[in-house]
Amino acid sequence: MSRIYLSQSEKRGMLAVGVALVLVASVAVWLWYHPEEQVVAVAPMPVQTSYGRKPAKPFAVPERRVETFSFDPNTADSTTLLRLGLTPAMVRGIYKYRAMGYVYSFPEDFSRVPGMTRGMWNRLAPMITIAPEFQPMEPIERPHPSKSSGTTAAPLNTVETPPAAQPVAVCRPKLRVGQTIDVNTADTTLLKQVPGIGSYYAAQVVRYRERLGGFAGVEQVAEVKGFPAEALDFLTASQLPLRKFSINKISRRALLSHPYMSVEQARSVWEYRCNEGSLHGESDLLLLPGFRPSDVERLLPYLDFSE
């Protein structure tokens, strides 16, 4: 009987086939005796982020509720200001402004809060109330003596004196087309003769003129909030000397009270005076943060650079 000789590659192939058959037979025998483990239910794994945490479920963010009510910017706390719709940055600016010793003497002062928008100002302006202790000193007008509306019995053993004469209201006619008045010298009574100007705007114009130091041009009257544009045709601005303030000597609080000086500009002037000394002219102002050429141009008539 002849022998069969196999090469090394053939031997390895037969060995691999034998091993595979043994493995298949072993698996078949194992499945025969464990039929209940043939199907394995795999529970779905929760999806995790790269940090090993479950992703947060999306949820609806409630909109911020904005309220509108009367308030005093000099005493309102942070909760009140946030309820009014001001941002945290604006609230911090208001607190810093008050911590520096400044006050809001007029409702218009609140419009200079950094970050104030036109829509926000139109909503809050009618709600601003300034307490008397924060308002500027003004001469007190004594009311004309008049008879009270009620009737009281005259005291015994006294001589009854006749009541004082009632003040007579004088109806002053409005100006006609072509007639003008000087806005730098007119009082509230004269201003009320201008068509479109009543007691409110007459008082606002006089108050703004005092804060400004006089009108360099009649167009500045239009800076009064809500002032009727058609009334400008009846006004002129005489070339009277304007009331100037010394930018190198004025206090920080008085510096900020001028309508043309913002918080940032007042801070820039104050820091320059503390670190560099006096300002000598327009060129020095243009180098300070917050001053644009247009800002310097409208401020110049009211500035005195004397040391």
CATH number (domain holding residue 209): 1.10.150.280
Measure the CA–CA gap between 64 and 82, rounded to whole angstroms.
10
Measure the CA–CA gap between 162 and 159, rounded to whole angstroms.
10
pLDDT of residue 77: 92
Same domain? 223 vs 262: no
Measure the CA–CA gap between 230 and 222, rounded to whole angstroms.
10
Structural domain includes residue 18: no
Structural domain includes residue 299: yes
104, with CB counted inside 10 A (0-12, 13-18, 19+), is buried
The answer to whether 211 and 258 have CB atoms below 8 angstroms apart is yes
State which of 117, 134, 151 marks the end of a domain.
Answer: 134
**Full DSSP string of 205-263:** HHHHHHHHTS-SSGGGGGGSTT--GGGGGGEE---PPP--EETTTS-HHHHHTSTT--H
Structural domain includes residue 158: no
Please name the amino acid found at residue 105: S
172 vs 65 pLDDT, higher one: 65
Structural domain includes residue 195: yes
Same domain? 300 vs 250: yes
pLDDT (tens digit, 9 = 90+) per residue, 22-35?
888 887 777 776 65
Same domain? 229 vs 253: no
pLDDT tops 70 at residue 142: no
Q: How confident is the model at residue 62 (pLDDT cuts 50, 70, 90)?
A: low
Structural domain includes residue 49: no
Report the residue count for the chain: 307
State which of 236, 261, 276 marks the end of a domain.
Answer: 236
pLDDT of residue 6: 67
Which whole number is the average pLDDT over 188-202?
Answer: 92
Return the residue matching tokens 């327009």: 282
Which whole number is the average pLDDT over 126-135?
Answer: 87
Q: How confident is the model at residue 184 (pLDDT cuts 50, 70, 90)?
A: very high
Structural domain includes residue 7: no
Domain tally, the chain: 3
Same domain? 202 vs 249: no
Q: How confident is the model at residue 222 (pLDDT cuts 50, 70, 90)?
A: very high
Give the structural domain span for 280. Answer: 245-304
Same domain? 185 vs 232: yes
Q: How confident is the model at residue 87 (pLDDT cuts 50, 70, 90)?
A: very high
Structural domain includes residue 105: yes
CATH number (domain holding residue 286): 1.10.150
49-63, 198-212, 235-249: least confidently modelled range: 49-63
**Full DSSP string of 66-87:** -----B-TTT--HHHHHHTT--
Structural domain includes residue 251: yes
Measure the CA–CA gap between 181 and 189, rounded to whole angstroms.
12
Measure the CA–CA gap between 72 and 60, rounded to whole angstroms.
34
Q: How confident is the model at residue 306 (pLDDT cuts 50, 70, 90)?
A: confident
Return the residue matching tokens 């809050």: 124
Return the residue matching tokens 């650079």: 305
Measure the CA–CA gap between 184 and 276, rounded to whole angstroms.
37
